[in-house]
Structure 1
Amino acid sequence: MTTILHKESNQKIHVENPSTTDNIKHLNDFYWTNFKEPHAIRRKQILKKYPQVSKLMGPEPLTKYIVFCVVSLQFSIAYYLRNTSFFSWKFFLLAYIVGATANTNCFLAIHELSHNLGFKSPLHNKLFSIFTNFPIGVPYSASFKPYHQLHHKFLGDDKYDTDLPTRFEAIFLSNIMGKIFFATFQIFFYALRPMCITSITFTYIHLLNLISQLVVDFLMLKYWGVNSLLYFIFSSFLAGSLQPLAGHFIAEHYILQPPSFYDFEHFEKNDLMPPETYSYYGILNIFAWNVGLHNEHHDFPYIAWSKLFELNKIANEFYEPLPKVKSWALVLFDFILDDKVTLWNRVRRQRVNTEKAKLADLEY
């Protein structure tokens, strides 16, 4: 039982905590629902009203040129730091300011390529993702694509959406120290969690990604030294740690405006869910392939980064009412300091039929 103050009558009201049998559960649990994810529904509505949106779909030729420049920048700095101590301020500041920004760009370029938005050929997207992976320092691109496909196809699914924190994570990390730890090391959670939850088929692309990355790393160690490789790896760590751009990981799907117990009655009566995707329209999108327009991206994953703002402009009445964040940096602070925002703040759906998923055949 929870006591709240009704704003209009200024009277105290006693509200029963949500039952564990309800569609939506709070307390020490995720936000469970039987409702479909909203993006497929909104996609149909937008295409019905604005069929011209379909013309925005397709690869963006500019992507490969930007990626080449960013990868070249990272190799140039790695060479420059080859004789600089890992423990120096110059090394740390270059890795934090330039390296983390550039590797975030590489991570999210691989995200674009996973939707086949760099080239028309899926194979060319996969191969260029391996090239984009080089500054990250560890093989990542081949595994990211199938797991990310599952995230889109089964958003919030209890098994196949590996973007969701596990129950173990939520139990032990939903406190201020746990959230500091999670926000600092979230790159490891996103890298390791998928392998612990859902298996994918190992293909020749995975092998090529692994071998080519090891060759690049070996050549760097042999000719430039360990500090150059450490610059790549440390930049990747910082890209998913306490750095402004890393706020996008939490901003995208965590419920940042959790409903009060009183609000639950409104949600249940109107068959609504707390919003599960947030968009960000600020300046940091310049470095992040407009991934901040996350409602738009999930609605139309075949529309490239360069046309997401145009999609928003065409169908603005669909996107204006949706939740948004003003700052990725503030999202990190709020996540850590707001006791109402925890790892439980995610919408989950019941596990889909395994046969229906056909993991080996998923190709987005």
Structure 2
Amino acid sequence: MKKEHSGQLSFFKGVTYKFRITHDDDEWLYDEEPHVRRRQEILSKYPEIKALMGPDPRVAYFITIEVIFQLVMATLVSIYQPGWITWLILTYFVSGTVNHSLGCAIHEVGHNLAFGHKYGTANRILSLFCNLPMMVPLAISYKKYHQDHHRWLGHEDADADMPLRIEARLFSNPFTRLIWIFLHPLIYAFRPFIKAPRPITVWEIINFVVQIAFDLILLRLLGFRAFCYLTIGTLLGLGPHPMTGHFISEHYLFADQQATHSYYGFWNPLIYNLGYHVEHHDFPYIAFTRLPKLHKIAPEYYDHLPYHDSLCRVVYNFIFFPENGPQAHCVNSEDLSRPELYKNTPKGLIPDYYEKKDRENKTQSNGKPCLIKGKN
């Protein structure tokens, strides 16, 4: 007989979330459901997980390698002046991939997981350095608004990751959702300032000044083609790129009412294990290098949950299946005043649904038939 365990509790979205923090560099004290409930239970059963908590300074080495790589590539583009087709291939596949990876590194550093909570300035400086090849000043603002995402997961007026209602109206069919994918970098960048603007900080001004100075120097020294290699790389990497699937996979509702999903697959090393997203929300102060160990220590709390195994498939289903799209995002019950705009997926939806729909629509995809798989 299979032993029952409360680790199989679901991620109900009809709950209230709370959060306490007084300063950006303070340790984040979570008092939210369902993740805090899971965290407390997992820690009571596996107290050794506490040893996994804390920063991993090695992230600074990985960031340095990526930044230097991008600067070398931009220099080579400037020297050899490749044709526009070759330039576009390099920009999409190389710059887009590396710059997206750097964006995920900014997330890691934003949790103070490079040098710890005591060294907030060092974390910020590293994030500014990480930001340089992306050409857009976003590191400090991202840190500030990402805290709101953890504070108020699913709250319409506070969760910066939650789509605006106008997104649900405008991007409601496959063609417009494809446009949403292309516009994603701009939407993701400006949504927090529209949804829940907060005062601009000194560090945001520093981020802006440092980044613009770097951009102008690079443009002067390496020229327009190298400048565009990095800038367009950011727009493509955060837009119509397979790695963008992790933004969608994390909190959009697919085959169930689970508000947070993980992705286990090929891209995780490049996205700093952001695919381990249930694990990350359960334990936000465990560095990315230790999240797989967390999963291994407490498998009964993760193995039974539905998960994604293909980011390409995530993007494909987001675009082409009517149940998906910006409206299918986890929402706190307090925000369900307009359910027609933020509707849930059909009750009882199972992975086979997507395979059946594929057969009905006679569509094909390079991804696997089932978007989400779950182990029994």
Provide the TM-score with structure 1 as the length reference: 0.81
1:142-291 matched pairs, under 5 angstroms: 142-258=140-256, 274-291=257-274
* TM-superposed deviation, 1:32: 6.9
Report the AA paired with residue 226 of structure 2.
S
Is the Cα contact below 8 Å between 2:13 and 2:258 reproduced in 1? no
Q: Give percent identity, aligned residues only.
A: 35
Unaligned runs of 5+ in 2: 1-11, 18-32, 336-376
Unaligned runs of 5+ in 1: 1-30, 259-273, 352-364
Distance 1:348 1:256 in 2: 13
- The match for 2:299 is 316
Is the Cα contact below 8 Å between 2:168 and 2:327 reproduced in 1? yes
Pairing partner for 1:61 from 42, 57, 62: 57
Distance 2:57 2:154 in 1: 32
Match of 1:65, SS?
helix
* TM-superposed deviation, 1:33: 2.6
Distance 1:61 1:84 in 2: 36
Distance 1:49 1:222 in 2: 58
Report the AA paired with residue 290 of structure 2.
K
Is the Cα contact below 8 Å between 1:176 and 1:336 reproduced in 2? yes
Matched, 1:46 2:72: no
- The match for 1:128 is 126
* TM-superposed deviation, 1:55: 1.0
Distance 1:86 1:157 in 2: 47
Distance 1:133 1:279 in 2: 26
Count of matched residue positions in the alignment of Structure 1 and Structure 2 = 306
Match of 1:185, SS?
helix
Distance 1:38 1:184 in 2: 32
1:183-212: CA deviations, max 9, x gaps?
122111110111111112222211111111
- The match for 1:33 is 14
- The match for 2:71 is 75
- The match for 1:348 is 331
Please identify runs of 4+ aligned residues in structure 1 that moved more than 3 A. 34-37, 83-87
Distance 2:199 2:305 in 1: 37
When the two chains are superposed, the root-mean-square deviation of aligned CA atoms in Å is 1.6
For CA contacts below 8 A with separation 6 or more, give which structure has more relative contact order.
Answer: 1
Distance 1:201 1:127 in 2: 20
- The match for 1:89 is 85
* TM-superposed deviation, 1:84: 6.2
* TM-superposed deviation, 1:323: 1.7
- The match for 2:278 is 295
* TM-superposed deviation, 1:138: 1.0
* TM-superposed deviation, 1:85: 6.2
Match of 2:254, SS?
coil
Provide the TM-score with structure 2 as the length reference: 0.78
The structure that has the greater radius of gyration is 1
Matched, 1:112 2:108: yes
Is the Cα contact below 8 Å between 1:86 and 1:92 reproduced in 2? no
1:111-144: CA deviations, max 9, x gaps?
0000000113111111110010000001000100
- The match for 1:8 is none
